Amino acid sequence: MSVWATSSCGATRTNYPVARNNASASPRALAPGPRALLLDEPTSALDVSVQAQIIELLAALRARHGLAYLFVSHNLAVVRLLCERVAVMRDGKLVEVGAAAQVLASPAHPYTQALLAAVLPPRANRTTYPSATFP
């Protein structure tokens, strides 16, 4: 996990290996009193229960400290929980930007549509799986 903290005195970067507990990044990133954090895949390689704890921690820290997050993730379920705005990129270019609820509910770009089609909705007795073709 990489954390970029931005404060009035500039940006600093700290790398935390995935093997370490991602929650240990929070106190170090918050120490200089940043206004914004860049979170690069903060919940990747974590089991679901730990992901939930990290999501709750990030939400609480945002509320308590008035933080803004630039959240980089492939996990659209986490994006749906934490993000107010979404920017979808393909091959390093923005293809869709907007309110998270709008983009995730009614994507306009074919690539965003394909990404969302590739995410399996939770279903207890799944026997078939949708196929997604990326335009």
Q: Each residue of 53-105: pLDDT tens digit?
A: 888 888 888 888 888 888 888 888 888 888 889 999 999 999 999 999 999 99
Q: How do 10-15 and 2-7 pair as beta strands?
A: antiparallel
3-class DSSP state for residue 10? strand
Query: Same structural domain for residues 30 and 59?
Result: yes
Give the pLDDT confidence of 3-48 residue by residue, as tens digits: 444 434 444 444 444 334 445 556 677 777 888 888 888 888 888 8
Cα(129)–Cα(108) distance, rounded to whole angstroms?
A: 23
Query: Same structural domain for residues 11 and 55?
Result: yes
E strand or H helix at 72:
strand 68-72
Q: Which residues of 83-109 are buried (b: 16+ CB within 10 A; e: fewer)?
A: beebebebeeeebbebebeebbeebeb
Q: Does residue 122 carry a pLDDT above 80? A: no
Cα(66)–Cα(90) distance, rounded to whole angstroms?
A: 30
Query: Same structural domain for residues 103 and 117?
Result: yes
Query: Same structural domain for residues 52 and 66?
Result: yes
- Report the pLDDT value the prediction gives residue 44, as an integer from 0 to 100: 83
The number of CA neighbours under 13 Å toward the Cβ of 102 is: 10
Domain that holds residue 65: 2-83
Please state the domain count of the chain. 2
Identity (one letter) of the amino acid at 24? S
What pTM value is reported for the model? 0.63
Cα(92)–Cα(94) distance, rounded to whole angstroms?
A: 7
